Chain A
Amino acid sequence: MRINVIGLGNILFGDEGFGVEAVREFERQGEYPESVQFVDGGTQGIYLLDYIESCDAVMVFDALIPEEFESEVYIYQKQELPGFIHRKMSSHQMGLSELIGLANLRGRMPEKFVLIGIPPKCLDLGAALTPEARSLLDKSVEKGREILDGWLQGEA
């Protein structure tokens, strides 16, 4: 099973870079089979389509809102994502929601898809991750690793 772990966001803007930082940390923390790829997706929008379509399972890390969210790690499964999209929380005009829409239309949505994220506290230019985001980062990587292990074991 080919697996892509993709981090989204802009590292120049504090917690907006959470996804990218989380995936870097994820990669740093362990040894993984060659079938697992870690992708610094940045804010590449539509250019990331191939990273979604070209594998069997996708795990995306990203900062996400809405405001009523508590400061914790949120995990959305594939079937939850369309409803999630329709709440229009995205600001990127061509974001993950469009990627999922395109992959669906082309019949190339991977079998497994999970989104892991946290609500950002600070989006200031030039800032590092906030202590809150930093503390949630380890937890989110841990959750991600559990899911990844499940995927890899399911294969065995």
Chain B
Amino acid sequence: MAKKIVVDPIPRIEGHLRIEAKVNDNNVIEEAYSSGTMWRGIEVILKGRDPRDAWAFAERICGVCTTVHALASVRCVEDALGIQIPPNARIIRNLMNATQQTQDHLVHFYHLHALDWVDVVSALKADPKMTSDIAQSISSWPKSSVGYFKDLQQRLVGFVESGQLGIFSNGYWGHPAYKLPPEVNLIGVAHYLEALDFQKEIVKIHTVFGGKNPHPNYVVGGMACAIDPESDTAINIERLAMVRKIIDDTRQFIDQVYIPDLIAIAGFYKEWLYGGGLGNYLSYGDFPETTLDDFKTLLWPRGAILNKDLNTVLDVDPRDASQVTEEVSHSWYTYSKGDDKGLHPWQGETTPAYTGPKPPFEHLDTDRKYSWLKTPRWKNNPMEVGPLARVLVAYAKGDPMIKDTVGMVLSKLQVGPEALFSTLGRTAARGIECKQTAGFMRHYYEQLVDNIKKGDYRTFNSERWNPSTWPKECKGFGYSEAPRGSLGHWIQIENEKIREYQIVVPSTWNASPRDANGNVGAYESALKGTPMANPEQPLEILRTVHSFDPCLACASHVFDMNGREVTSVRIV
């Protein structure tokens, strides 16, 4: 008899994602349904506003990745108004974006995803001497002495005994799907704590260039920071030196901690190659060396891969009405010309129409509409976006640095490239990408210093700041590769105000429900066929869904139309 498992909510960051999975008698998942249970509506509140202010609203739609929405937003307004930003602004934006991506990947791996693989309670049983030996065998990272691990273990014991398991209380400790020996678990916990120090250092780069953090300042036309090597208050030599040190420390942490941990942990799970899913991958690309339209210069290349075919990378154009579309056949919206008809975001509509069960409910009616997420498709194909998509597109296009890093990771694990089409592959791709992107940080730092040495301090182009210089009507597209995947903002401006604004966020691609043709979304596909040790403790579902780094806060923010429980209020 088939059973149904409901996991609600999934992300460890805010936001609501609900997974319903049907398992067979052998506890293998036969079907999965992914639902965003809260409404998104940023598009509605942007209507009628000054386009130059849009970024400040857009950056609040996601709890954590503020800077990527700000970036996509200023880019789409600049695209609409035909504004060229100065080279320094491009470099600084790239550096901030690379910083965000690096920081986010570190935090995702250690603070959101590691505990799907690392059993904290098992770490209490580790032998500190053996832990130290293992740590020293995989890396030259200095914090690896017997005493270091012994102290940490004692602190952990004290913490658990005082009843404050707190942050660690939502795990399935002792679950049979955990495979690491206690010593590797202890290394994982140690680096969980150390990574917190690194993430807080990295983000100081945002403070230097964005004026403040969280919520750094962006501006249509460039960046709102002044460069002057001689000034105390502007970006000067002292601040640049600090940025350089942070970049170097970050790269060291990734090379000596993150990548070795990833390989050590993955080595114990390489039999667990579930969760591959669609095999379709999409990347808009990002990190322009010149302008955003000069696709060939993007350091993360643009392209699409279908059916795991790494021999063919297809061209992508998100401005093309026949390529990127959203339909609502299984989403709680209505379209004026039919819910099954995919609309390009420039024709997009956002008219909520909830037809789901009245909460509290047991199950969603998955034969009909079951999600607040729309259903984005690329040329009618469901696509996966994110680190794995970016790494595969770059790999298939022959990017030499990516080929090197992917080759190094695969050879250490003694697996072939096909292992990348899995949950673990997605997790490995995030680490590979983190290493690559941290390298970009250094590249941009050098570009910026070179420009400053040449005497170019410009960061802002004010030519079209005044709305009187704008056309009466125009439209624009802004993209970026956010940590979680391809992000697009589409704007239409009329009489100096926003007429329409549509955002398609990465988690909408990945967490999308079925489309009118019955094609499942990326999460739904990835979960199919996964065996579960114990359906009461769906660790395997969490593992695969977390590997996508869900951020439903973007896709549908804390907002409950139905007044069900107090989910929309956070405290503590």
A interface, CB within 8 angstroms of B: 8-13, 16, 39-50, 62-67, 81-82, 84-85, 89-98, 100-102, 104-107, 115, 117, 120, 123-126
* C-alpha gap A77/B487 in the complex (Å): 41
Who on chain B is nearest to A106 by CB?
Answer: B193
Give the B interface residue count (CB, 8 A).
Answer: 46
Among B9, B167, B559, which residue has its beta carbon within 8 angstroms of that of A13?
B559
**Stretch from B57-65, B488-496, B497-505, B514-522 contacting the other chain:** B57-65
With A82-B164, A93-B13 known as contacts, the answer to whether A40 contacts B215 (CB < 8 A) is: yes
Whether the pair B60, A93 counts as a contact (CB closer than 8 A) is no
Closest to B214 in A: A44
> Closest CB of chain A to B552's CB: distance in Å?
10
Interchain CB contact under 8 A, A120 and B569: yes
* A126 / chain B contacts, CB cutoff of 8 Å: 41, 44-45
Contact with A along B338-349 (1 / 0, CB 8 A): 000000000000
B454 sits at the interface (CB 8 A): no
A92–B568 alpha-carbon span in the complex (Å): 9
20 A-B interface contacts by CB (under 8 A) = A16-B568, A39-B214, A40-B212, A43-B14, A43-B570, A46-B107, A46-B199, A47-B107, A62-B572, A63-B569, A91-B568, A91-B570, A92-B570, A94-B12, A94-B14, A115-B572, A123-B559, A123-B568, A124-B559, A125-B45
B14 A65 Cβ-Cβ under 8 A? no
Using A40-B215, A44-B214, A47-B214 as known contacts, say yes or no to A106 and B196 having CB atoms under 8 A apart.
yes
Q: With a CB–CB cut-off of 8 A, which chain A residues contact B80?
A: none
Interface contact A90-B570, CB-CB below 8 Å: yes
Q: Is the CB of A97 within 8 A of B166?
A: yes
**A82 CA / B12 CA spacing, docked (Å):** 19
Q: Kindly state whether residue B203 has any CB partner on chain A within 8 Å.
A: yes
A97 touches B566 (CB 8 A): no
B60 interface neighbour in A42, A65, A100, Cβ under 8 Å: A42
**Interchain CA distance A105-B157 in the complex, whole Å:** 10
Please classify the interface of chain B as helix (H, G, I), strand (E, B), loop, or mixed, using the class held by over half of its residues. Answer: loop
- Please give me the residue from chain B that is nearest to A60 by CB atom: B572
Partner among A45, A96, A98, A101 whose Cβ is within 8 Å of the Cβ of B64 = A45
| A13 close to B196 (CB less than 8 A) | no
CA distance A40 to B14 in the complex (A): 18
Q: How far is the CA of A137 from the CA of B164 in the complex (A)?
A: 33
Which residue of the partner chain A has the closest CB to B14?
A92
From B56, which residue of chain A is reached at the shortest CB distance?
A: A11
Chain A residues whose CB sits within 8 angstroms of the CB of B156 once the complex forms: 105
Partner of A89, one of B57, B166, B196, B571: B571
Complex Cα distance A16/B39, Å? 16
Q: Which of A50, A64, A93 contacts B12 (CB 8 A)?
A: A93
Asked, given contacts A11-B60, A12-B60, A98-B166, whether A43 binds B569 with beta carbons under 8 Å apart, the answer is no
Find chain A residues with CB under 8 A from B63 CB.
10, 42-45, 92
Contact A62 B167 (CB under 8 A): no
Q: Which of A12, A40, A90 contacts B45 (CB 8 A)?
A: A12
Q: Bound state CA distance, A126 and B42, in angstroms?
A: 8
Complex CA–CA separation, A105 to B120 (angstroms): 13
Minimal Cβ-Cβ distance residue in A for B571 = A64
With A and B bound together, what is the CA distance between A50 and B557 in angstroms? 25
Least distance between B564 CB and chain A CB atoms (Å): 11
Which of these, B39, B66, B111, B557, contacts A46 with CB under 8 Å?
B111
Which single member of A10, A100, A105 contacts B558 (CB below 8 Å)?
A: A10
Report the Cα distance A47→B44, complex, angstroms. Answer: 28
Inter-chain CA distance A85–B571, complex, in Å, is 9
Q: Which 10 A-B pairs have the closest CB atoms?
A: A101-B166, A43-B63, A50-B200, A64-B571, A126-B45, A92-B570, A92-B14, A96-B572, A101-B167, A97-B572
Q: Are the C-beta atoms of A85 and B166 separated by less than 8 Å?
A: yes
- Known contacts A44-B214, A123-B568; is A102 also within 8 Å of B60 by CB? no
B166: chain A residues within 8 A (beta carbon):
85, 97-98, 100-101, 104-105
Contact B214 A42 (CB under 8 A): yes
Asked whether A123 and B569 contact (CB < 8 A) given A12-B57, A47-B203, A93-B14, the answer is yes
Q: Given the complex, which residues of B lie within 8 Å of A104, measured CB to CB?
A: 159, 164, 166
Q: Is the CB of A62 within 8 A of B559?
A: no
Whether A65 and B558, one on each chain, are in contact in the complex, defined by CB atoms closer than 8 angstroms, is no
Once bound together, how far apart are the Cα atoms of A74 and B233, in whole Å? 39
Q: Does B322 sit at the interface, judged by CB under 8 A?
A: no
CB distance from B391 to the nearest CB of A (A): 25
Q: Give Cα A92 to B107, complex, Å.
A: 16
Residue in chain A with minimal CB distance to B112: A94
Tell me the complex Cα distance, A12–B159, Å: 37
Provide the residues of chain A in CB contact with B41, threshold 8 Å.
125-126
Asked whether B572 lies within 8 Å of A95 as measured between CB atoms, the reply is yes
State the CA gap A13–B159 with chains docked (Å). 36
List 11 extra interface pairs beyond A43-B14, A43-B558, A66-B566, CB under 8 A.
A10-B63, A43-B63, A64-B571, A91-B569, A94-B13, A94-B14, A94-B112, A95-B570, A105-B167, A123-B560, A125-B559
Q: Does B412 contact A (CB under 8 A)?
A: no
B215 near A62 (CB under 8 angstroms)?
A: no
- Interface residue? B379 (CB, 8 A): no
Q: Which residues of A contact B567 (CB under 8 A)?
A: 91
Residue of A nearest to B204 (CB): A50
B553 neighbours in A (Cβ, 8 Å): 43
Complex Cα gap A84–B558 (Å): 21
